[in-house]
A and B are shown apart, each in its own frame.
Chain A
Amino acid sequence: MNRRPNHLAGAGSLVWLLLVGLPLYVMITATLRTRSDYARRGPLALPERITLDNYTGAFSTGFGRYFLNTLTVTVCVVGLVLLLVPPLAYAIVRSRSRFASSAFRLFLLGLAVPAQAVIVPMFYLISEAGLYDNLLGVVLPTAAFCLPVSALVLSGAMRDIGPELYEAMAMDGASPRRMFFQLVLPLSRGGLSTIVVFSALQAWNGFLFPLVLTQSDSTKLITLGLYDFRTEHGIDIPGLLAAVVLSMVPVLLVYLFARRALVQGLMGVGGK
């Protein structure tokens, strides 16, 4: 590629840096300021003196519990997706049954169904099942709506496995089940990590299902905690932004310690 420095691109990227950085700057500095400091000197000023009250305040509204709830939901959703999708993708790629190909078409169709479209009957179903205001009631639909993309991504990954490998295993007398565990799963690790990242983010960031399907503090997820905090204390901007920062800490940790996996996983959602 061209080795000369590209000044135009450099300047453009700096403009974008400013756009990305400015709200982040406001966010970080505001959370370290007192409310009156923020109100008096505006959002752009540096803290007069640094305070952590906003964080302790936000945390005391129950964010610890919301974290735990969100973590539970995320683990359950990822677990369900990992349990359901690999066999499905395996069948889509390898099975010759009419059912498997119709199932694939069903999931392709499902790609276009937005969660908002089914929220009304979902509410009805979940509450009839006695799962309203129960984390399980959030897990089930969230996992279901992760399936189409996950199936597409994973079956794409599984198609990459060359037929000669199956044949080689078949020579050893391997059953389809053994092929699945010894050949297909190990070779689709990239796809698997993508669906883990994808479904974990879906669960972690989910909003509509928890909004409609839960209500009490004991089942509140982080996103809803943020929304309610904003509904009640929208004007306490330092406190509100502290809650925003708290909400991103876990993902930030993942980013710092498993950056490659996260980035690769996200790239995988987009195809390769």
Chain B
Amino acid sequence: MSSHMKTRIRKQTRSRTATGAGGDERGRVRTARRSAGGGRAPDRGRGASRRARERYGSRVGRPGFVWAVPATVFFGLFAITPLIMVAALSFTSWSGLGPPRFVGVDNWTRVFADPVMIESVWLSLLVTFLGVAVQTPLSVLLGVWAAGQQRNRAVLSAIYFVPLLLSTTAVSVLWRAVLDPNFGVPSRAAWLFGDGNLFGTQAGAIGVLAFVSTWQFTPFHTLIHQGAARAVPRVLYEAAEIDGAGRVRQFFHITLPQLRNSVITSTILMVVGGLTTFETVLILTQGGPGTDTTITAYYMYQKAFKGFDFGAGAAVALVLVVAATLVSLIVVRVSGYDRMRSDMEGVS
């Protein structure tokens, strides 16, 4: 299956010549020779692919590029333009009052000499990594468990879902109140929390951040795995049981491999989400104690909107973009997500 699906995808991106201006063909469909499999016939090499296309594709009217224009223009205006402007701003000094002034690479040399900035990148990666490391096993286990059909599981799953109904802001506000060193739970449970100040040390504050995002997002990832676990063919388990495999072996030899795709998808979502954590830090720790939880996204906000150094803020923002792109690329390459996605997209 996967091989010809891949070619289908490739075809879509490679074939630019055929209908480039083929408006004349649109709608002028003569016969539709629907041979079994049609364009799906395994086609090897470019020549074969073109032939296959001629057999069905070109006779069917296809939308022109106009269909993609509105969304692309809109995206260009509100996402790509600001991105280009960020790059430009990073070479200027701008306090928001006068016009931006060109200063060359000044911001960049300052940013790379700034220990807080360097530390913020590591902190972002650490927070992201912690999120993945804690949430993945947890949500896989919960997802597989919730995929069972028992009634009590359905009820519990409904409760587990509740954190998803709260916005990140609400979750952070809730946990800030619950964990307040003076007025929250820790102040009443000294046996568990000691002096009650979870925000007082770097380890404590990072732990709180990781825990709160786990609390908030595990239900979502559980949902993804639950869907995937339900889709595992029954026969696999039946066969395994005949072979006498126990529950644990079934989990590791059948369930987990079958969840590969959902694990990769949810990991990518966690990575992107982790790198862009913002409200959680703003509300829970404000980057503290000191600058111990000042992750890059928060540092950018601080530089630009609290220190009014928009040029340096722009440079930090670009570092964030580069880091996010690199990490995403690495995850995509290592996991084979790109291949998987096209496989998945081909499944009908």
Where the two chains meet, the residues of A that have a C-beta atom closer than 8 Å to any C-beta of B are 1-2, 4, 6, 9, 12-13, 16-17, 19-21, 23-24, 26-27, 30, 39, 42-44, 80, 83-85, 87-88, 90-101, 103-104, 106-107, 109-122, 124-125, 140-141, 143-145, 147-148, 151, 155-156, 159-164, 166-168, 170-171, 173-177, 179-180, 204-205, 207-208, 212, 222-224, 226-227, 230, 234-235, 237, 240-241, 243-244, 247-248, 251-252, 255, 259, 263, 266-267, 269-272
Contacts and interface: CB of A to CB of B under 8 A. Distances in A.
A95 B65 contact: yes
Interface string B73-88: 0111111111101100
Given A100-B65, A114-B324, A167-B32, 9 more contacts: A1-B237, A13-B142, A100-B67, A100-B68, A120-B304, A176-B61, A240-B173, A247-B167, A272-B227
B234 to A, nearest CB: 7
Interface string B6-34: 00000011011011101000110101101
B71 A116 contact: no
A117 B299 CA distance: 11
Given A23-B178, A94-B63, A143 B166 contact: no
Contacts of B20: 96-98
A247 B176 contact: no
Contacts of A90: 63, 67
A85 B70 CA distance: 9
B166 A247 contact: yes
Interface in B143-173: 145, 148, 153, 156, 158-170, 173
B348 A160 contact: yes
B207 interface: no
Contact of A208 (B29, B145, B278, B310): B278
A266 B223 contact: yes
A17 B173 contact: no
A227 B173 contact: yes
B112 interface: no
Contacts of B80: 106, 110
A248 B166 contact: yes
B255 to A, nearest CB: 9
A23 B214 CA distance: 14
A24 B185 CA distance: 13
B305 interface: yes
B71 A85 contact: yes
A11 to B, nearest CB: 11
A97 B82 contact: no
Nearest to A169: B60
Contacts of B321: 112-114, 117
Interface string B247-261: 100100000000001
B313 A120 contact: yes
